[in-house]
Amino acid sequence: MNLRIRRLTVGLLVLYTVLFVQLNLVQLVLADGYRTNEANTRDIVRLFSEPRGSISTSDGTVIARSIEVEGELDRLREYPEGELYAHVTGYLSLNFGASGLERERNDELAGTSQEIEIKSFSDLFIERDRTANLILTIDHDVQRTARAALGDKKGAVVAIDPRTGEVLAMWSWPSFDPNQLSSHDLGGASQAWLALLDDADVPLRSRAYQERYAPGSTFKVVTAAAALDGGHATPTDPILEVTDNYVAPQTDRPIMNFGDSSCGGDLTEMLRVSCNTGFAELGVTVGADRMAISAGGFGFNDPSPVDLPNAATSIFPSASFFTNNIPLLAQSAIGQFETAASPLQMAMLAAAVANDGVMMRPHLVSEVIDSDGRTVDSVGPEVIGTPITFSSAAELKAMLENVVVKGTAKSLAIEGVRVAGKTGTAEIEGSDGTHAWIIGFAPVDNPRVAVAVFVEGDDTTGQQTGGATAGPIAREVMIDALEATVAR
């Protein structure tokens, strides 16, 4: 009998131990994974029945809020501006979980973060319905201008304050209406979801920060920075041959200029006319190591530091790859081959040059304020790197201003304002169309806004250029952003 009791006791202890380990595994080790899994809607059901904070722009426009409704679920998540901020706020859906800031800042919005739930010792014993509101850096007028200026062109617009990293606008088209996904009509929400998934234009993905594309000649800013910092060039030396083609070592296939034109000269001139042959040769002269260091300094190959989920990592091939592939180094130096960047990354690049070579962390959330009016988080400027020296940045700023005054970026010019910029036209593999890019900043002597505009190309758009297609869009956004940042 005692043997049976001992066996039973041991068996119960083993079962208890297994249960104890499993509970701790689920509650402590795997809890975050279960909670943040987009397929887990248990928290979402709770969130629809409890208070949730709002999301507002810097000028007070509410872009996400919860309203009381009748039915089994007490509250409905509402997005008053519809598609305008869909890729920023994301959605909160009973069917499909959360995305965007709704996902990234869920703990604050729901009031479940420790800073919001517990303010004093008594809060450990008293249940309170505390939430927090997000105040963003985005300016509503600048965001609306970005949408209007891009129009029905597929692409993206990003505007950043180079001094602080504050994102002033982030627009991507096509977009979607998050109200359709947050609806309590689960059948209707499912139909909307399936339609979005079947859409060939992929409107659920933000072209501004979740996708990457060949940056074309806007990447020549990186090549110029590498040449300046590495001592391979100054604004006036060397002077490269004027030619209509460049043949890199290890190949007999030439790199041509846009429209089969001829160009060359010093770095200032090559930037002014966006000379492919000259920058391809310069990239080979600079070398793979220096090019990779410069690209990495500007944020390529590192996860995007923006405070949004699932941001794309911009790509520049490793230096070792080019050991026996010098022709591809020449292609990469002009923003082709496997070089790829998000519009956000290119806005960061422009902002770093504008800010005397200092790169700031881009962010959309400015403040988190709880339901008692207390600021629980304030996001300030944060330096994340110095990809180019102060002196090289000064030289590059002057050359990029020349591109607007006398070169390919004249469409960026604003009367009475010193503007700098660089255009880009990127070839698309398997298509006769081209992507159109432009990056820029203003005022040159005290920059308050840096902009990147990307217009997606395909067979129907044909040969787009950055100056003609993207430039006018960037100019409109830049004008409004300059007005918005006067008081900041």
Active-site residues, by number, are 217
The SS3 call for residue 340 is strand
d(CA 24, CA 354): 51
d(CA 402, CA 410): 9
Q: Do the Cβ atoms of 48 and 68 come closer than 8 Å? A: no
Q: Do the Cβ atoms of 376 and 115 come closer than 8 Å? A: yes
Beta 420-427 vs 97-98: how paired, if at all?
A: unpaired
Q: What angle do CA 102, 104, 107 make, to 5 degrees?
A: 80
- Assigned token pair, 156: 């993206």
d(CA 223, CA 229): 10
Beta 132-136 vs 55-56: how paired, if at all?
A: parallel
Q: Do the Cβ atoms of 299 and 361 come closer than 8 Å? A: no
- Assigned token pair, 262: 């001829």
d(CA 281, CA 25): 57
Beta 383-385 vs 375-378: how paired, if at all?
A: unpaired
Q: Which residues contact 60 (CB under 8 A, 6 or more apart)?
A: none
Buried b (16+ CB within 10 A) or exposed e, 427-456: bbeeeebbbbbbbbbbbbeebbbbbbbbbb
DSSP string, 234-280: BTTB--EEEESEE--TT--PPEE-GGG--EEESHHHHHHHT-HHHHH
The SS3 call for residue 75 is strand
Burial group, residue 178, by CB count within 10 angstroms (0-12, 13-18, 19+):
buried
Longest pairwise C-alpha distance within the chain? 101
- Assigned token pair, 258: 């846009």
